[in-house]
Amino acid sequence: MIIASKKPIEEIIQEITPYSRILILGCNECVTVCEAGGKKEVEVLASALRIFCLSKDIEKTIGEHTLERQCDHEYLEEIRNIVDDYDAIVSLACGVGVQFAAEKYLTMPLIPGVNTVCLGANEDRGLWTERCQACGSCVLARTGGICPVSRCAKRVLNGPCGGSTNGKCEISKDTDCAWQLIIDRLKALDKMEEYETVAPVKDWSTDRAGGPRTVTREDVKI
């Protein structure tokens, strides 16, 4: 899922300075699971902002609402009737939700309340780590189910590089060397002979490099 982390409150306080009626808009999916922008986080942020305003004698109205998702038209429509009560929205959804809301409510300033970080998994309570870079052409079948694009700092496709030490990446002792993981997995799968197959030059045109990407399914279009 998409992993995000809360923006510092100081930054949000700065951004809402020009506005007096602010809606904190949460999302019930990814940002709820990574505890950055769900209903709970909306409540806490709203309360903190109110405390700030009250303590500094600043007049602002802070409203709260959480949608199921902010990346679907139907859900964003749900706030159509309350949107006019506000002059800005702080969206705690991922970058997708913030933008989709901005497209839907053209004259409403949208302020992101979280930093969208990566596509990842919930490794442990309070720990979310990157697993996918959305390169658009998945090679996981060749690498024992471990992605060299997202988990190798140099995204080498024929790794490891010379900096791998004790199973860790040269950039940090806390970062696993993706290629060590791949080799371990290939061994476990009894597929070590595949290691010597040279991975060809990658087609990055399906990655960010190729421009904003689109997926369509003609068969489900109405």
Partner 1 sequence: MPDINTSEAAFEPRIIGFCCKFCAYAAADLAGSMRISYPASVKIIQVPCTGRIDMIHILKPIEDGADGVMIAGCLEGECHFLQGNLKARSRVEAVRRILAQIGMEPDRVAMFNLSSAMGPKFAEITAQMTDRIRQLGPSPVGEAGKKSRNAA
Partner 2 sequence: MSGYVSDSRLERVLKAGHLGVTSECGPPRGSDPEDIKKKGLLIKEYVDAVNVTDNQTAMTRMSSLAACIHLKLLGIEPVLQMVTRDRNRVALQSDILGAASFDISNMLCLSGDHQSFGDCAQGQNVHDLDSMQLVQTVRHMRDEGKFLGGDTIKRPPRIFVGAAANPFADPFEIRVPRLAKKIACGAEFIQTQCIYNLDKFKEWMRRAADRGLTEKVFILAGMTPMKSVGMAKYMKNKVPGMDVPDEIIDRLAGVEKKKQAEEGINICVEHIQELKEVPGVAGFHIMAIEWEEKVPEIVERAGLFPRPDM
Residue ranges in contact with partner 2 by CB under 8 A: 153-167, 170-171, 177, 180, 183, 195-196, 198-202, 204
- The residue whose two tokens read 């053209």 is 106
Contacting partner 1 (CB under 8 A), which of 17, 55, 166, 197?
A: 55
10 binds, among partner 2, partner 1, none (CB under 5 to 8 A by kind): partner 1
- The residue whose two tokens read 């930093």 is 115
Instruction: Count residues near partner 1 (CB under 8 A).
Output: 17
The CB-of-80 to partner 1 minimum distance in angstroms stands at 27
Angle at 204 between CA 200 and CA 208, to 5 degrees: 155
Record the tokens describing residue 65, joined without a space: 């609402």
Contacting partner 1 (CB under 8 A), which of 56, 73, 217, 221?
A: 56
* Cα distance between residue 180 and residue 105, in whole Å: 48
Q: Does 139 bind partner 1 (CB under 8 A)?
A: no
List the alpha helices (DSSP H) in 3-125: 9-15, 30-33, 39-55, 73-77, 95-104
Q: Tell me the one-letter amino acid at 40.
A: K
Contacting partner 1 (CB under 8 A), which of 1, 13, 119, 153?
A: 13
Residue among 59 and 190 whose Cβ is closer to partner 1: 59
Q: Among residues 85, 80, 95, which one has the least CA distance to residue 4?
A: 95
The CB-of-211 to partner 2 minimum distance in angstroms stands at 15
Residue among 40 and 191 whose Cβ is closer to partner 1: 40
